[in-house]
Amino acid sequence: MKPKIFIDGEHGTTGLQIRTRLSGRADLDMLSIPEAERRNRDLRAAMLKDADIAILCLPDDAARESVAMLDGVNSTRIIDTSTAHRTHPDWAYGFAEMTAGQSEKIAKARLVANPGCYPTGAISLLRPLAETGILPGDYPVTVNAVSGYSGGGKQMIAQMEDKAHPEHIAAPHFLYGLTLAHKHVPEMQAHGLLTRAPIFSPSVGRFAQGMIVQVPLHLADLSGAPQLGDIHAALDAHYAGQSIVEVVPLAESAGLARLDPTALNGTDDMRLYVFGTEGKGQANLVAVLDNLGKGASGAAVQNMTLMLGAA
């Protein structure tokens, strides 16, 4: 029998992306409810219980409600794309390349928390350095990032694109999360192996999708006062053999004058860079990814594939 897949919230930005990716897959039996019935709790519960894998593309509270509907129903496995369960110990974190054995953990899990887009970039840079001991757990990490406006879902897309919208945003670029309490901070701290919360400064640009995440470092404050080559070597060794995460050679990075946040749009790839000048004692680690690809729907489909044993 074909695996039955139900996307709970398939009419939102991430849900639509996943649905498009899976459409035409003859190896899957896609369960669906009409958009007009999306708030029908009984129908949602029936679909959730009938599915082999349920992919939740919902706000946090609604995702928790869906999980509660499946309490005691061990036959349905869950991928949750919300923030609700990303640091919960009973949920496997769905970043397959994060650490050795993570893809196997996802493959065997019943409960998988899909990573956030910003944390995917930040953790990809932090985790290798933390695991090798280069980055002390109490290092004062700063994460700066810019995302395409699709990351804000249908509401922000409308605010950015519709000039008649009552809350139209005309700015070409804006900061948010100004209180330093963004909901992605706990996720970055937990899976980045940090003992203190990072300072996270997110922003949105006037482009639909794409993302750049930056982690600047003072090398003298790291264990062993590493050089740029040491940082690069740690990242390169960590992701050796991975097809999705690419660590760009130092010489290639040194020849770049600018980075385009949209460079990987339409892919599930992520590209990591180490920038700096030898002898200056500073480095800027950068991740480029598609916020709707590896940062959302691409990761969900990758996790589903692992869970179905087809990876």
Return the HEC string of the chain: CCCEEEEECCCCHHHHHHHHHHCCCCCCEEECCCHHHCCCHHHHHHHHHHCCEEEECCCHHHHHHHHHHCCCCCCCEEEECCCCCCCCCCCEECCCCCCCCHHHHHHHCCEEECCCHHHHHHHHHHHHHHHHCCCCCCCCCEEEEEEEHHHHHHHHHHHHHCCCCCCCCCCCEEECCCCCCCCCHHHHHHHCCCCCCCEEEEEEECCCCCEEEEEEEEHHHCCCCCCHHHHHHHHHHHCCCCCCEEECCHHHHHCCCCCCCCCCCCCCCEEEEEECCCCCCEEEEEEEECCCHHHHHHHHHHHHHHHCCCC
Structural domains counted in the chain? 2
Between CA 79 and CA 107 the distance in angstroms is 11
Say whether both 156 and 276 belong to one domain. Answer: yes
pLDDT at 275: 98
Residue 57 annotated to the active site = no
Is the whole model's pTM more than 0.75, yes or no?
A: yes
Residue written as tokens 């001991």? 133
Q: Write down the pLDDT at residue 223.
A: 97
> What integer pLDDT is reported at residue 38 of this predicted model?
81
Together in a domain, 138 and 107: no
Given this model, what pLDDT does residue 61 score? 97
CATH number of residue 19's parent domain = 3.40.50.720
Q: Report how far residue 276's alpha carbon sits from residue 283's, in angstroms, rounded to the nearest whole number.
A: 5
| Shared domain check, 140 and 64 | no
Both 12 and 141 in one domain: the answer is: no
Return the structure tokens found at 66: 């869906």
User: In the numeric block, which tokens belong to residue 277?
Assistant: 């000048």
Residues 101 and 210 in one domain: no
* Residues spanned by the domain of 16: 4-115+296-307
pLDDT of residue 35: 82
Say yes or no: 85 and 153 in one domain.
Answer: no
Cβ(82)–Cβ(88) below 8 Å: no
Whether 112 and 79 have beta carbons less than 8 Å apart is answered as: yes
Q: Is 214 exposed, middle or buried (0-12, 13-18, 19+ CB in 10 A)?
A: buried
pLDDT of residue 34: 87
Q: What is the per-residue pLDDT for 22?
A: 96
Residues 178 and 93 occupy one common structural domain: no
Do residues 138 and 59 share a domain? no
Going residue by residue through the chain, which has 311 residues, state the pLDDT in tens, using 9 for 90 and above. Answer: 899 999 999 999 999 999 999 998 999 999 999 888 888 899 999 999 999 999 999 999 999 999 999 998 999 999 999 999 999 999 999 999 999 999 999 999 999 999 999 999 999 999 999 999 999 999 999 999 999 999 999 999 999 999 999 999 999 999 999 999 999 999 999 999 999 999 999 999 999 999 999 999 999 999 999 999 999 999 999 999 999 999 999 999 999 999 999 999 999 999 999 999 888 999 999 999 999 999 999 999 999 999 999 54
110 and 222 both lie in a single domain:
no
Looking at the structure, do residues 73 and 90 belong to the same domain, yes or no?
yes
pLDDT of 310 reads 59
Of residues 282, 284, 280, the one with CA closest to residue 272: 284
| Active-site residue (options: 117, 125, 219, 233) | 117
Q: Using CB atoms within 10 Å of the CB of residue 53, give its burial: 0 to 12 exposed, 13 to 18 middle, 19+ buried.
A: buried
Same domain for 169 and 207? Answer: yes
159 & 185 share domain: yes
CATH number for the domain spanning 164: value is 3.30.360.10
What is the pLDDT at residue 278? 84
